[in-house]
């Protein structure tokens, strides 16, 4: 399932400030998190979908790289995005 344009605008508006601010790191992390959650649910039902599994691994790596970037720039932004998205359990 593709993420709809409305859902993307909603995510970027909530985390990026404006719906057109697609380059904001927090917005990108939120979008990756939404897609990762969707793929995780898909893989629970389709265990042998290896291409989706590879995509999931790549997205997790990209999200981790963005989180490392934010952590290096501003620890408070990093802690806020972790708490808002509920990434640490």
Domains of the chain: which residue ranges? 5-85
Whole-angstrom Cα distance, residue 24 to residue 17? 8
pLDDT digits (tens, 9 = 90+) for 41-65: 999 999 999 999 999 999 999 999 9
Say which residue the tokens 């593709």 belong to.
2
Q: What is the pTM for the complete model shown?
A: 0.90
Q: What does CATH list as the number for 5-85?
A: 1.10.287.10
Tell me which of 39 and 1 has the higher pLDDT.
39
* Neighbouring C-beta atoms of residue 29, cutoff 10 Å: 27
């Amino acid at each position: 399932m593709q993420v709809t344009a409305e859902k993307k605008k909603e995510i970027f508006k909530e985390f990026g400030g404006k719906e057109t601010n697609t380059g904001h790191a927090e917005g990108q992390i939120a979008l990756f998190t939404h897609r990762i959650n969707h793929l995780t649910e898909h893989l629970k039902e389709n265990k042998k979908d290896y291409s989706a599994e590879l995509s999931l691994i790549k997205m997790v790596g990209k999200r981790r790289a963005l989180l490392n970037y934010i952590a290096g720039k501003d620890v408070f932004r990093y802690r806020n995005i972790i708490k808002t998205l509920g990434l640490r359990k």
